[in-house]
Structure 1
C-alpha cells in the first residue's frame, strides 16, 4: 500500500454481484419454477442482469408479475422456497475475490458484508462458502430498520467493527450501494463486473472510484 492515502480502517462489501456470483442459483431456481408452470427456460443473461434486484425482480423477469398481480405472492414464495433449499449449489466467489480477502486478512484490515439479502439466505450461504467465521460484521435487512440506500446498515457494521466510517471503504454493484456508502461518509467503489443492467449508468452513480474487474478492485484497495 502506498503512502498517498491512509490505510482503510475497514472494507465493507455488498454480497450478490460484488463478493459472490449468486446468479447461477437464481437462474437455476427461476427456470425450475418456470418449468413447473409449463414454461421454457429463459436465457441465463436475461435473468443474470436483474439478480441484484432480488426475488421481486426474478418474478417480474420470469413471469411478468408485480406485487399488484394476484399470482405474484404464490410465485414469489415458491421461488424463495426453491432458493432456500439450494442457496449455494452453484454460487461461488468471483475469481480473484478469495485472494483479495486473504490480503485483507494478512494486512489485518477487518472486512465485512452489508447486504439487502435476508439473513435466512445470507447465513447459510456464507457458511457454505466458509466466509462466516472470517467476516468482522455481517449486516442484513433483519438487523436494521431501513435498508440501503439508507446508511443505517453500514453505520451498524462500522460500529460492530469499532471503526470510523469516514476511514472505511464500501464496495458495491448497484447505485443504492454507492448512495448508502456516500450517506455513511465512507469512500465508495462501484464494481462494473456485477449484475448491472446498464453499465454506462455507473458513471452517474457518483462513486469515488470504479472497478471494471476484480483485479481493478484489488489494485484500488491495495494501492490507494
Structure 2
C-alpha cells in the first residue's frame, strides 16, 4: 500500500486570491495595516493564528507577545469564518488537471489524504465544492490535528488513521513547512513550485526528497513512478502455483517476505515434519539454495524471522540472528513483496490476509504469525 498525503492550498487548490482578499478584509475591518500579496504568500506556511501574529507584528516574523497573539486569535477567527463561507468552485478550484489525475492514480493499494494548516472545516468544504470528498480517506487541519506543520503531529495522525508508515507515505506540498513536516516524520516528500514557496528556496531547503516539480502533469507522473507496479503488489500463493519452475519458490527474490509452514505439512499428499501442530510464520528471504527440475524443486531457503507486524509495517528485532532459520520449498505458503527501509524495518506492498490456506490433507486456513 502507498499513502499519499497532500497539502491543499497552493498544492491541489488555487485559492490564493480568496485567502489574500479575506485576510485584508479582516485586517481592514479591525483597522489594521493591510498586507501585500508577497507578504501573504510568504506567511502561508504558518497556521492562521501565527500568520496573523506576523501581520500584526508588521511582518517581523512570528511573535510570542501575548497581546499580539490574543488579537491575532480574534482576527484570525473572523478571517477563518469568512474564508470558509466564501469557498465555492469559483474561489477555490482545483488546479487544472489535478482532479482527473487523482481519480486515475487512486487504486485499492493507493490512498489519499489532506493535511492543511487551515481549519478542517475549510478543507472539507473545498473538497465538497470540488466534488471529490470520496477520494480522500482522511482530512485534517491545524485545529483537528492540534498542531500545525512543520510539527509532525498531523502527519503522524493521518498515518495512524490509514495504517500507513513513513516508509509507504509520500507528502506533497508547496511550502517549506510541508517539506519539513515530511522530513520530521521520515516520509518521502515532493515539492510543488506553483504555490507559495519559491522554487529555489524549496530546492535549497533539502526538505523534498523526491524533488521539486513545476506543473501538475509532472507531479502526478512523479507520484506514479514512486508507486510499485501492480504486478509487484500482489500476494502470491503456492496453492495457485505448480511444481518445478512453476513452483512459488522460483518467484522468490532476496528481500521478499514469505509465509512458511512449520510443525506439520504435506509433501506429495504425505504428512511430514516433526509432528507438532502446524503454524504459519513470517520471514524475510535472505538466501536461496534451490534447484528446479521439470516437476520437482529441491533445496533450502535461508531467512530471518519477522519479529512483529502492525498492519503493513514489519519489524525485525536487532537481536534476531540473520538468516537464522531454514526451510524447504515444500514448506512455502505465500510470497509477499516488501519495501525495506533498512535491515530491520519494512512495509508490505500488498495486503496480507490474517489467515492463509495451509498445506494439510484436509483444507484448512491458519493464522499468519510472527516469531514473537
Q: Does the alignment reach a TM-score above 0.5?
A: yes
Paired residue for 1:160?
Answer: 161
The Cα of 1:126 is off from its aligned counterpart by: 2.0
Deviations 1:27-50 (A, max 9, x none): 232343456468998665553444
Is the contact between residue 138 and residue 158 of structure 2 (CA under 8 Å) also seen in structure 1? yes
- Structure index of larger Rg: 2
SS of the residue 1:32 aligns to: helix
State the TM-score, normalizing by the size of structure 1.
0.79
State the TM-score, normalizing by the size of structure 2.
0.50
The Cα of 1:168 is off from its aligned counterpart by: 2.0
Deviations 1:192-213 (A, max 9, x none): 11112x4322123221121122
1:120 aligns with 2:113: no
Is the contact between residue 114 and residue 153 of structure 1 (CA under 8 Å) also seen in structure 2? yes
Match of 1:29 among 11, 18, 22: 22
Is the contact between residue 17 and residue 52 of structure 1 (CA under 8 Å) also seen in structure 2? no
Paired residue for 2:370?
Answer: none
Change (3 A) 1:79 1:218: same
SS of the residue 1:136 aligns to: strand
Change (3 A) 1:130 1:28: same
Match of 1:222 among 224, 231, 234: 224
Is the contact between residue 59 and residue 75 of structure 1 (CA under 8 Å) also seen in structure 2? no
Change (3 A) 1:133 1:212: same
Paired residue for 1:4?
Answer: none
The Cα of 1:222 is off from its aligned counterpart by: 1.6
Is the contact between residue 192 and residue 212 of structure 1 (CA under 8 Å) also seen in structure 2? yes
Q: Larger deviation: 209-218 or 125-134?
A: 125-134
Paired residue for 1:194?
Answer: 195
Deviations 1:34-79 (A, max 9, x none): 5646899866555344434353435755893776448545533332
Distance (Å, rounded) in 2 between the aligned partners of 1:141 and 1:191: 21
Is the contact between residue 10 and residue 167 of structure 1 (CA under 8 Å) also seen in structure 2? yes
More strand by proportion, 1 or 2?
2
Is the contact between residue 191 and residue 212 of structure 2 (CA under 8 Å) also seen in structure 1? yes
The Cα of 1:186 is off from its aligned counterpart by: 1.5
Is the contact between residue 11 and residue 111 of structure 1 (CA under 8 Å) also seen in structure 2? yes
Change (3 A) 1:221 1:34: same
Deviations 1:2-33 (A, max 9, x none): xxxxxx61111111111212212112323434
SS of the residue 1:21 aligns to: coil
Paired residue for 2:80?
Answer: 80
CA RMSD of aligned residues (A): 3.0
Change (3 A) 1:96 1:49: farther
Change (3 A) 1:223 1:54: same
Deviations 1:75-94 (A, max 9, x none): 33332332132133501112
SS of the residue 1:26 aligns to: helix
Is the contact between residue 43 and residue 51 of structure 2 (CA under 8 Å) also seen in structure 1? yes
Is the contact between residue 7 and residue 116 of structure 2 (CA under 8 Å) also seen in structure 1? yes
The Cα of 1:104 is off from its aligned counterpart by: 1.7
Paired residue for 1:57?
Answer: 51
Paired residue for 1:100?
Answer: 101
Unaligned runs of 5+ in 1: 1-7
